[in-house]
Amino acid sequence: MSKVNALLPELRFPEFVLGEAWKSKKISELGDTISGLTGKSGEDFGEGMPFVTYKQVFDNSVIDYRDCGRVKIYTNENQNTLQRGDVLFTTSSETPNEVGFASVLVEVPKEPTYLNSFCFSLRPFNLDEIQPQFSRYLFHSPIYRKAITALAQGSTRYNISKGAFLNLTLSVPNSAEQQKIASCLSSLDELITAHSQKLELLKYYKKGLMQNLFPQEGEKAPKYRFSEFVQEWKKTALAEHVDLTSGYAFQSKFFSKQGKKLITPKNFTKEGKANFDKGNTKFTTEQFDPKHLCVPDDLLLLLTDLTPSCELLGKPILLTQEDGNVLLNQRIIKVTITSNLDKRFLLQYFLTSQFHRRIKSTASGSTVRHSSNKIILDTQLIIPNEFGEQEKIASCLSSLDNLILAQRAKIEQLHLHKKGLMQVLFPKLND
């Protein structure tokens, strides 16, 4: 590991600016490693005493005991139990960037608790020297992540050795400064948690509205209706209202960092939102038929899914001005309205659980699941006779979508703010 550029972070709280420098410590000077469960078979799991799972360590910086698995521990076994302050680490992962993830026990376990066999624990010699709340951030700091990633070894799966891990050097402040840093970052985490809970409530509220504003199985009308509309809803086939344009199998040899933007299955997200995921955008220089060019306000539908639960099958995207023009790739269709059917009402229908159940139940394929144009066109739905009622429902649900998108953006900004703080509250490595 390269030497620490300075024993001070870029940003310090005023009361510590003239205080003592951070101290360089090898991890071996901070604590001992403790192994996880040994000698267990599949029959031992499912009941018994709590144990911290690999997923808990990988997913969270703090252990929540409510999420623990269960394992039988017999009286003649010599297994290590966990205690407050233990820092748990994953020993391997599929990518070097995900190895050595850490999670901390900030509270005392209420009963003997164990650790899965694919992780190990660092047990601090002194909890004043490395406090639990500070540990959760130190072992997620850029200086630590850069160092641990450099240690990862392997080809198909990456691992770290305990010896190399213990030899890593980190910079640690005194206990008072640790408390201040932990307090600052934990307050931000609490704010992120609060906004995340608000997001879940908005999503739950929209799900409930969807169930009440669209007829459920066996019903001829929805449970809730706006008072100004009294006409009955009608049953119809989607084929009476839309034309479908199939995508084209653009060749990978023409994929480029420039050219025309493609929409591919990777642009569809698992979330309930119906907007374009820009994180997986591809471009092509291949010649194309104008019929495969999609523009803002075009409604697209995904006809394939790699996920076991088929979460993405039948997902819609309504292109926006920000998305611009895109080329329609294979396994995606463009849905063009040909009747007095509101496009945004149809978009919301494509997001209903009943539509997803139909697409999933009629899908073909084993590993990769597919739907078809025929299945989409044969879909039976019940819609309002009055176009105004379609618009009112779409407007109501779209306004909630906008609130959900704004809430997601707020959470993303908070995460970026936390990332920025992590970069300046901890010392940096030389490049």
**Regarding predicted confidence, which is higher, 20 or 139?**
139
pLDDT at 3: 43
Is the per-residue pLDDT at 1 higher than 60? no
pLDDT at 2: 39
**What is the mean pLDDT of the segment spanning 2-23?**
79
pLDDT at 429: 62
pLDDT at 156: 78
**What is the mean pLDDT of the segment spanning 31-58?**
95
Strand, coil or helix: 364:
strand
CB 88 within 8 A of CB 104: yes
CA angle 136-132-150, nearest 5°? Answer: 40
SS3 readout for 300-360: EEECEECCCCCCCCCCEEECCCCCCCEEEECCEEEEEECCCCCHHHHHHHHCCHHHHHHHH
**What is the per-residue burial (b if ≥16 Cβ within 10 Å, else e) of 224-260?**
ebeeeeeeebeeeebbebbebbbbbebeeeeeeeeeb
> Which of 301, 304, 315, 303 is CA-nearest to residue 368?
304
**What is the mean pLDDT of the segment spanning 43-57?**
96
Strand, coil or helix: 289:
coil
Which of 7-11, 57-61, 314-318, 323-327 shows the lowest mean pLDDT across its residues? 7-11
pLDDT band for 281, please (50, 70, 90 cuts). confident
Is the per-residue pLDDT at 430 higher than 70? no
Predicted structure pTM score: 0.85
Phi and psi at residue 130, to the nearest 5°: -145, 95
pLDDT band for 93, please (50, 70, 90 cuts). confident
Strand, coil or helix: 38:
coil
pLDDT band for 116, please (50, 70, 90 cuts). very high
**What is the mean pLDDT of the segment spanning 324-336?**
95
**What is the mean pLDDT of the segment spanning 326-347?**
95
β-bridge partners, 384: 233
SS3 readout for 200-213: HHHHHHHHHHHHHH
pLDDT band for 283, please (50, 70, 90 cuts). very high
Where are the alpha helices (H) located in 94-252, listed in sequence order?
A: 132-138, 142-151, 162-166, 175-213
What pLDDT digit, counting tens, does each position of 120-164 carry? 999 999 999 999 999 999 999 998 999 999 888 887 788 888 999
For the chain, the average pLDDT equals 92
Domains of the chain: 23-172 (3.90.220.20), 233-384 (3.90.220.20)
How many angstroms from the chain centroid is the CA of residue 44?
Answer: 31
Return the beta strands (E) in 349-418 as ranges: 369-370, 380-384
pLDDT at 38: 95
pLDDT band for 306, please (50, 70, 90 cuts). confident
pLDDT at 101: 93
pLDDT band for 272, please (50, 70, 90 cuts). low
- DSSP state letter for 171: E
What pLDDT digit, counting tens, does each position of 370-401 carry? 999 999 999 999 999 999 999 999 999 999 99
CA angle 316-317-319, nearest 5°? Answer: 155
pLDDT at 392: 97
Phi and psi at residue 319, to the nearest 5°: -65, 145
pLDDT band for 308, please (50, 70, 90 cuts). confident
Write down the residue that tokens 């748990």 correspond to. Answer: 88
The structure tokens listed for 422 are 């992590």
pLDDT at 153: 85
